[in-house]
Every structure is written in C-alpha cells, then in structure tokens.
Amino acid sequence: MESFQLWKLSGALLLGMGVFLFGCGNGDPEAEQVNAVIAERLDLKEEKAARVQPVTAELWGEREMLRKLRADLYDQLLAQLKSKSADSGEMEKTLKTSWLQVENLIPKAASAFSEYHAVMAPEKRAEMVEKIEKRREWIQQGRRRFWSFSDEGPTAEDINGKRAERLNLTLEQERQMLPVTEKLFDERDAIKQARLKVYDEVLAQLKNDTVDTAQLESVLHSTWTTMDVRIPRVSDAFASVHAVLTPEQRAELSEKLERRQKRRKNRRHHRWHDWH
C-alpha cells in the first residue's frame, strides 16, 4: 500500500541515527551488544566506544516506539480492509500521529550522527560513503529494477496494470483504479527526491571533518514536511482503493499483509544473530 512510503521515507529521515546507519535495527540484543558490534565495525578504541555508548543506548531505546508505529499502521490497514467502508479521516489520524513522533526524533538523530561522526576515522567514513552511495544509486534507479528490459521508467498505466494483475482486478476495476494510481504516481518523484536529499546531506557531512548539526536538522525537517503534506492524499487514495476492491479481494489483501507482518517479526529475530 502507498501508505508504506511513510516508512521508506522515515528510514531516510533517520539515517543520521547511528543504529540505523549500521544496520542494527533487528533482533533483541541489549544496547551494550549493539554498541560493541558498532565499535568492532568502526575499529573504535575502548575510549571512543565508551563515548558513544550513551548515544547508542538512547537511540536503541526508541526502537520499541518505532516498532509500535509500524504495528499501529498495519493494524489500521487491516482493520479498514476488513470493514465494509474505509474511514480516510481515521487513516489520516493514524498516519499523522505516527509521522509526528518521527519528527520529534529529528534533533536526537542529528545529534547522534554528530557523535558517531566524531569517533569515526577518515578511512571508516570513506567506507561508509561508498556503502551509502551504492544505496543512493539503488534508490535513484527506483522502479527501473523491475522494468530492466527498458531504459525508460514505468508509466502510471504500467504500474496500474501490474497492480491490477496482483490484485486480480477486472478490467472495469483496473479502469477505476487508474486515476488513483496516476495521482500517487505524480507524487513519486517528490518523495524520491526527498529521500535523495537526505542521502546527499549525509554523504556531504561524512566527507567533511566536522558535522553541521543545524544544517542536517534543517534537511531532515524539510524532508519530513515533504511527506507530511502528502498524508491526506495517501489517506484519500486508500479510501478510493478500498471502494474499488470487492470483499473477497480485500480479504486476500489482508491475508497478504498479515503474512508480511509475520515474516517481518521472524526476520527481526533471526537477522541480528546472523549479522552478529
């Protein structure tokens, strides 16, 4: 569902948080374990590892809140899909509430990024730059991954056709869905550019010897706003999609979301152990 663009963008917003930068967002280790792995990966001396321990602990303490936000969104989607009609106002309220809590983390994220930056050797920052540049390129390519047979990106009609296929829509339903897809498609570039803007700022700061925390915060707030103003449109789009789907199709989509939620919980348990 398009509302999950919120979480793609929130990942970009939180790039400044060391825990998210270093991929420690899965499993249930203690903050001390996470900090130990970060210290090992960054070749930190004991003194520098101790310096960022409080930062890691504070950030790690936010993970339950972020998990709850995602779970609340899933629950809202499932509840509405199982209802006869969608409540766009309630959906907007859920999204706004969640997104506001993400905004409240921005100062903490920028400050934490500065602390991690300060203990990283130039060589390690260069390694991080390479990794983030690869991820940025992946985002820049966007949906062309699926349309690899063409140098052109997909059109709204292409995407609508693929969704119609996945949802087993009739031709009439596909026609009804197209205006919704077109509206969301028009927002795609703005959302992607917002994500790329965060990556560009993080890359620029990693290449510098010091961090401009105020500048990083400014970029994060700007990016947050890009999505915030689009929440009502996402909520309305969900209600439009709901109206097109039959009860059977909504039930099938609910099952898919529930399976995805279950897989995510399982991955959260296993990935930490594999990675550690």
List helix spans (H) across 142-170: 156-166
pLDDT given at position 47: 93
Using 50, 70 and 90 to split pLDDT, how confident is the model at 10?
very low
Q: Is 96 exposed, middle or buried (0-12, 13-18, 19+ CB in 10 A)?
A: middle
For 36-86, what is each residue's pLDDT tens digit? 988 888 888 999 999 999 988 888 888 888 888 888 888 999 999 999 999
The dihedral sign for the CA sequence 87, 93, 96, 101: negative
For 142-198, what is each residue's pLDDT tens digit? 654 444 444 567 889 999 999 899 889 999 999 999 999 998 888 888 888 998 999
pTM over 0.85: no
Provide the CB-side half-sphere exposure for 227 (13 A, CA): 28
**Mean pLDDT computed over 121-126:** 94
Distance of CA 119 to the CA centre of its chain: 26
